[in-house]
Amino acid sequence: IATIGAATLSDAKAIHADALVIDGLQCCDFDRPLLEEALRGGVTAINHAAILWENFRGGIDRVTEWHRLFDANADIVMPVRATADIHAAKAAGKLGIIMGWQNTSPLEDRLDYLAVFKALGIGIMQLTYNTQNYAGAGYLEDTDAGLTGFGRELVAEMNRVGVLCDLSHVGEVTAADA
């Protein structure tokens, strides 16, 4: 048996088999073969962040697509709404999907939409995607003034309802403010 440092290959395989393996970001269009491939690779859960520029209606449409994916593949996949669901997916031999966004654009300028999307299963939201939005500046902006007033309220509301605030693609000042 080949060795990997102090551990044997079989030890490494056992560690991987027992580990919670979470893919922090996938933006692909999932189908059953991709879900099965992730399971074969030992992935426990994936943050499937598919929102980029959509508005409220686009966000609702995307959630509807995810729910169809869950229904069609219920034998191998399950939604993740809380940390306990990641452990449940592992125990059930299923792939957990954390529904996430790469932009808060579907909220438009409405804080009350956040709780609606949380109730529908959205667990992670990136504040901005590259450019300025209602919340703050993306990393591509020449001027990063930080979180807007709406952005400060949004971060507080994300904390209140339990949506993870992803700071990828945001400007440095916006990230520091968050």
Q: What is the 3-state secondary structure (H, E, C) of 36-67?
A: HHHHHCCCCEEEEEEECCCCHHHHHHHHHHHH
Give pTM, 2 decimals.
Answer: 0.88
pLDDT tens readout for residues 46-90: 999 988 899 999 999 999 999 999 999 999 999 999 999 999 999
Whether pLDDT at 175 is above 60: yes
- Backbone angles phi and psi of 23, in degrees to 5: -85, 115
Q: Which two tokens stand for residue 98?
A: 């954390």
136-167: per-residue pLDDT in tens? 999 999 999 999 999 999 999 999 999 999 99
